[in-house]
Amino acid sequence: MEYVKSKIRDVVDFPTKGVLFKDLTTAFKDPRALHIIGWDLSQLYRDKGITKVVGIESRGFIGGSILAFELGAGFVPARKPGKLPANVIRNSYQKEYGVDTIEMHADAISENDIVVIHDDVLATGGTMAAAYELVKSMNPKKIYINFIIELESLNGRANLPADAEVTSLIKY
C-alpha cells in the first residue's frame, strides 16, 4: 500500500476551503497502483461468497467494478437521482457539504445475495450509511462495507452500523 499512497495526490481547499482532499485519480491512472488496489480489495473478500458489489457514484464505480470482476460477482450502481432508468428506491442523507440523495434499482439485490458496498473514501460516513440502509431494505444474507481510504480524524465509522464489518485499505 505504500506505493499506492505515494500516488495519491493531496489537493488543498477542495471542494471547500479548509479541506485537504485525497485525490485517488492519480492512483487510478497508474497501472501498478490500480492493480495493487484491485488485488488487495479482492483478497479481503475472496472467501466470503460475495454475489454483488454495490459501487457508490462515482469514484466507487471504479474500485467496485474491479472488485466485482475479481470476485466473479455482479455490480450494482448506487447513483444520484434521475440516473437509473427503472423503478428505484432512494434515501436522502446529510453529507459534509449539504444534503444529498442516493438511489438504487429496486430489484438490484435479492435475499440470497451477499453484498459488499464500496466507496473510495470514508469521510463522515453519510453516503455509506445511506447506501447501507438501501441495501439492508432488500434483505440480503450479509452486507460488508469497504473503502480504499479512511480519514480517521473525521470519525466516519461512528456513523456506520455497529454490526457492519467495515474495512479500509489505507487509513490517514
Predicted TM-score (pTM) of this structure: 0.95
Ordered per-residue pLDDT tens for the chain, 172 residues: 999 999 999 999 998 899 999 999 999 999 999 999 999 999 999 999 999 999 999 999 999 999 999 999 999 999 999 999 999 999 998 776 678 999 999 999 999 999 999 999 999 899 999 999 999 999 999 999 999 999 999 999 999 999 899 999 999 9
Q: Which CATH architecture has domain 48-171?
A: 3-Layer(aba) Sandwich (3.40)
Could you tell me the residue ranges of all domains in the chain? 48-171
Catalytic (active-site) positions = 59, 96
CA distance 2 to 130: 31
Answer whether 115's CB lies under 8 Å from 128's CB.
Answer: no
